[in-house]
Amino acid sequence: MIFGRSERGKPPVEPVTLKILVAGGFGAGKTTLVGAVSEIRPLRTEELLTEAGRPVDDIRGVEGKNTTTVAMDFGRITLREDLVLYLFGTPGQDRFWFLWDELATGALGAVVLADTRRLEDSFAAVDYFERRSIPFLVGVNCFDGAARYPSESVRAALDLDPNVPLVLCDARNRESVKEVLIGVVQHAMAYAADRRAAVTT
Ligand SMILES: Nc1nc2c(ncn2[C@@H]2O[C@H](COP(=O)(O)OP(=O)(O)OP(=O)(O)O)[C@@H](O)[C@H]2O)c(=O)[nH]1
Ligand SMILES: [Mg+2]
């Protein structure tokens, strides 16, 4: 017997789509993270780092880096049949701050990628999401050769609220990045539920 689509009794699932921002300092691994998990060829807006930019573009620790994001990264991942994330990676350089408000519109939550060799570069992103009450998770991108610090020290250095999740990750590794993304969705859902409860009580 041949079954038609409708006879299988399973209507196609219309997935929920959520927008997640991937932010952090210059060279923290944002473009790498989006590329590691995206199931579509990620849209990138990379430009070559130039000699002229050398005084402002600090590539210590990521000496192999020869491009930088000038507008955004875009990718998509299906976490479950009924849950699709659209990932928007921000540019890391300060001179592109004007793009952030546009990118943040409608975002459910954000990942702040941090490189422990230059943690101070993540302060601005942490600040940005705190001020706008956008729930975020900090992903410490563990670069080869970078010193490992206990999570508590990183939390203290970033002055994170106790409820902000912090996870260690490898932006090149699909499974590791998936865990980060599941973490941010769970955190954002819990945050939204708390806000609803606060409004109704
Ligand atoms: N060892 C190691 N290298 C990484 C990791 N993530 C990124 N890289 C390398 O670090 C460099 C910077 O990565 P990008 O993904 O371009 O960083 P970005 O945050 O998008 O940079 P901007 O857009 O310029 O701010 C690249 O050369 C990557 O290959 C990681 O987890 N481990
Ligand atoms: Mg980038």
User: What local confidence, expressed as pLDDT, does residue 61 receive?
Assistant: 85
Sorted by where each begins, the domain ranges of the chain are 16-200
pTM for the model stands at 0.91
CATH superfamily of 16-200: P-loop containing nucleotide triphosphate hydrolases (3.40.50.300)
Distance, in Å, from the CA atom of 41 to the CA atom of 75, rounded to the nearest integer, reads 7
**Cβ 68 under 6 angstroms from ligand 1:** yes
| Nearest residue (CA) to ligand 1, atom 32 | 143
**Ligand 1 center–CA 31 separation, angstroms:** 7
User: What local confidence, expressed as pLDDT, does residue 1 receive?
Assistant: 42
**Ligand 2 center–CA 85 separation, angstroms:** 18
Kindly tell me the sign of the dihedral angle through the C-alpha atoms of 44, 93, 177, 131: negative
User: What local confidence, expressed as pLDDT, does residue 90 receive?
Assistant: 96
User: What local confidence, expressed as pLDDT, does residue 62 receive?
Assistant: 87
24 alpha carbon, closest ligand: 1
32 alpha carbon, closest ligand: 1
Q: Could you state, in chain order, the average pLDDT of each consecutive group of 10 residues for the chain (201 residues)?
A: 54 90 96 97 92 77 90 95 96 90 96 96 96 97 92 96 97 98 97 89 74
**Ligand 1 center–CA 24 separation, angstroms:** 11
User: What local confidence, expressed as pLDDT, does residue 2 receive?
Assistant: 44
172 and 32 Cβ atoms separated by less than 8 Å: yes
User: What local confidence, expressed as pLDDT, does residue 3 receive?
Assistant: 44
Atom of ligand 1 minimally distant from the CA of 92: 25
